[in-house]
Structure 1
């Protein structure tokens, strides 16, 4: 059974292109509302559920937060592939933090890997809001992923990097 997000369609959550702009425990600047530090956010869920969910070929979407969970699962997989050749935390940090800010495409642009997952932006303002949110959530995910992909001594954690070879929903994203 696939793991779904625990974030239901909560009242008062802003959406852009059908993507909920969920709160993040982040110090990075962006449009995401700030979450309490002791509370689980969508990035925590994506990292926690990644190693289980990556084995599934199908993912039944039960709410808008599941769409964001799918996006983050693919992003984590792409990040782990970037980290495969990095033998130290310093190398990994450089590779993955750059990935978090580059090529943030949104629905309707060429290169956006999930046609149909999110709706097309209705205005330039909505497009920029989604782009900024995805950039912020990718940066936050990259930073937290380094904490699990590398041990405290800076060596790679093979129990995480081994999952770079897995295909979620039998799809392998091509990194550019």
Structure 2
């Protein structure tokens, strides 16, 4: 059985690419280089995603929906640019989950995960520390590199916020969901950020 690929690969409007990393629109209030998608009406709880057919559904909803299933795969065939962002999102979610301790309350976990998301010293494609440089092209120039870093920072912050809402919503007792934390030891494709 193959891993799940992104539905955004079939998007009729191709996204802007930096190298071969897509800058897909996000449903967020965090400033960044892409235009924000509208929020669903009526508003959904923070721990839920809109329907995939909705105009509010974005790649980060898909990352969280496919994380647990795709984490079991050691191989992943990239079928389009959106898959590169999907892979990065899964790696980042894995990093976030490793920061959440099983007995951490919401405040402690938010601090740890937010610090990780706000850290500006992270690798981008083309850097020696990037896990899969053979599958990702580096930015064309320094300006493209800065745009990519801003976008990835926006993705990290929004993904951290949505992940925390899910990890702490499912339990309801102020403890993180054991179901989410059971994936902390798994490495998607045997790699991490």
TM-score by length of 2: 0.84
Give 1:32 deviation, angstroms.
Answer: 2.1
| Local SS of the residue matching 2:8 | coil
Structure 2 unaligned blocks of 5 or more: 41-55
| Paired residues, number | 173
Bigger drift between 145-154 and 45-54 goes to: 145-154
CA contact under 8 A between 2:33 and 2:151: conserved in structure 1?
A: yes
Q: Is the 8 A contact 1:104 1:134 kept in 2?
A: no
Paired residues of 1:86 and 1:92 also in contact (CA < 8 A): no
What is the Cα deviation at residue 154 of structure 1?
2.5
Kindly indicate whether residue 61 of structure 2 is the aligned counterpart of residue 59 of structure 1: no
Cα deviation for residue 80 of structure 1 reads 0.4
How well do the aligned residues superpose, as a CA RMSD in angstroms? 1.6
Task: Tell me the residue number matched to 2:33.
Answer: 31
CA distance in 2, matches of 1:91, 1:50: 23
> Shift of the alpha carbon at 1:45?
0.3
Q: Give 1:135's aligned residue.
A: 153
Residue of structure 1 in register with 2:176 after alignment:
156
Q: Which one is further off, 8-17 or 124-133?
A: 8-17
Larger deviation, residues 110-119 vs 131-140: 110-119
Query: What's 2:6 paired with?
Result: 5
Worse-superposed segment, 100-109 or 65-74: 100-109
**What is the Cα deviation at residue 14 of structure 1?**
1.1
Q: Which runs of 5+ in 1 are unaligned?
A: none
Shift of 1:47: 0.5
Q: What whole-Å deviation, never above 9, does each CA across 1:48-95 have from its counterpart, x for those lacking one?
A: 100000001111111100011001101111110011355101000000
Cα gap change, 1:43 to 1:86, in 2 (>3 Å): farther
Q: Determine the structure 2 residue equivalent to 1:49.
A: 66
CA distance in 1, matches of 2:12, 2:136: 18
